[in-house]
Amino acid sequence: MAADPIHQFQITKLVDFGQVTLPLFGKTDLAFTNSHLAMTIAFVLIVGFLTIVTSNMQVVPGRTQAVGEQLFSMIDNLGESIIGHEGKKLFPFVFTIFSFILAMNIIGLLLTFTVTSQLAVTATFGLMTIALVIIIGFAKHGLGFFKLFVPSGVPIVLLPVIVLIEFVSFLLRPVTLALRLFGNMLGGHVALKVFAGFVVALGALAAGGGIGLLGIPGAALSLSMVVALTALECLVAFLQAFVFAVLTCIYLNDVVNLGHGH
Amino acid sequence: MAEAAETLTTSTEQPEASAGLPQFQFQHWAGQIAYLLILFVILYVLMLRVFAPRIRRIFDQRETTINDAIASARQVQAEAAAQAEAARTALAGARGKAQKTASDAKAKAEAEAKARQAVEEAKLNERLAVAETEIRAARDSAMANVNTVATETAQAIIEKLTGKAASNDQLDAALAKLQG
């Protein structure tokens, strides 16, 4: 097939800076790739949008301001309802993650390369979240952080098993965070590409005439599937960003309110 | 990770070949991660220092505005209620005053009427008394005259019958016996 559905995830170098040796990563290709470009667009979009929203704020909001405030208060309320009073302090982190993932998802769907379909990117988000959880845990509770793995009210006999399960589940949190977003974006975009490929392939078949004309209904069906999937992917793009934010809040809540939350 | 990246770099030198997902070409990881971290940190600082405070400020401002508006509305309402109360009190006062004035006027009129009546009555009584006195005086004088007339008549009759005049004392005694 001419249009390989996986090809859309291929990273291509737009500007190559050659190989350099980084302190942490060792020898690396330093280049400005399509992934970097998409990240930059997402970044510029967020900053531009928020600048427009917040530059001339009115007590009675206009349309743009209302949209910005809606997004803001959605995450703000989320943080406050899950974490409580301390949610306000963690809000910038959660909102940064949310808006960055949302922007990357949406521009990946509608405009350019999908950064959030790169495992490197989703893994970084997941690890960042868990790193923050661990940092806050140790900063707030010191070694009491390990109480996270010991739920209260568990019989002594079961305790070793429970602690093991809790520990493993904690280790798996960044993995699930990363894989959920990665998988959703990967799957959605592959499905879109496959159906779009069907449209072209069946159309080409129909162009040959004769029995190949049967390809036309198939192509039409595929096209409607692409439209439907695009709508679905728009929902998924938002939903995955939101789910990431919710889970970030839940994981942060575990350590912020350690011992009186469970 | 560095070794893994290097081994994969050698094995996936031709990325166009079907070497699995492009996401697992680890030579591209470091650049993406580093760039993502840089952008994330910048965005986080912007959120923390610029955007979140701005939006929070407008939220606070909106809350203050709404609270102020509600407070002033409450105050105006209270003022209106106070004014209504004052008006009601004034109305009640005025009504009471009017009633008092009316009853005062009535009482005064009554008193005046009574006084005038009393004066008239007194005048009438006086006239009555005067008239009665006059009547009594007239009667008394009439009665006195009757006595004189009776005495004189009796004297004359006695003189005619007996030929001699009766003494006054005898006449008086006889009259007293008749009157008795």
pLDDT single digits (tens) A22-57: 676 666 667 788 888 888 999 999 999 989 888 887
Select from A6, A19, A195, A108 the least CA-distant residue to B16.
Answer: A6
Average pLDDT along chain B: 83
**Total number of domains in chain A:** 1
| B29, B41, B50, best to mutate vs chain A, most A CBs in 10 Å | B29
- The answer, yes or no, to whether residue B4 has pLDDT greater than 60, is no
Query: From CA A42, how far away is CA A116, in angstroms rounded?
Result: 11
Cβ–Cβ < 8 Å for A136, A260: no
Query: From CA B18, how far away is CA B25, in angstroms rounded?
Result: 12
Interface ipTM: 0.84
Query: From CA A24, how far away is CA A38, in angstroms rounded?
Result: 24
How many CB atoms neighbour CB A92 within 10 A? 21
Q: B61-114: per-residue pLDDT in tens?
A: 889 999 999 999 999 999 999 999 999 999 999 999 999 999 999 999 999 999
**Domain for residue A96, yes or no?**
yes
**Domain for residue A32, yes or no?**
no
**Domain for residue A247, yes or no?**
yes
**Domain for residue A46, yes or no?**
no
Q: What are phi and psi of A252, to 5 degrees?
A: -70, -35
Nearest CB among A58, A100, A119 relative to B43 is that of A100
According to the model, what pLDDT value does residue B161 have? 85
Amino acid at A127: L
**Domain for residue A19, yes or no?**
no
What range does the domain containing A243 cover?
Answer: 72-256
Instruction: Classify residue A123 by burial, with Cβ atoms within 10 Å: 0-12, 13-18, 19+.
Output: buried
Residues of A in contact with B46 (CB under 8 A): 47, 50
The domain ranges of chain B are 26-179
How many interchain CB pairs under 8 A, A with B? 123
| A19, A20, A28, best to mutate vs chain B, most B CBs in 10 Å | A28
pLDDT confidence of A212, banded at 50, 70, 90?
A: confident
Amino acid at B165: A
User: What is the DSSP track for B156-174?
Assistant: HHHHHHHSSPPPHHHHHHH
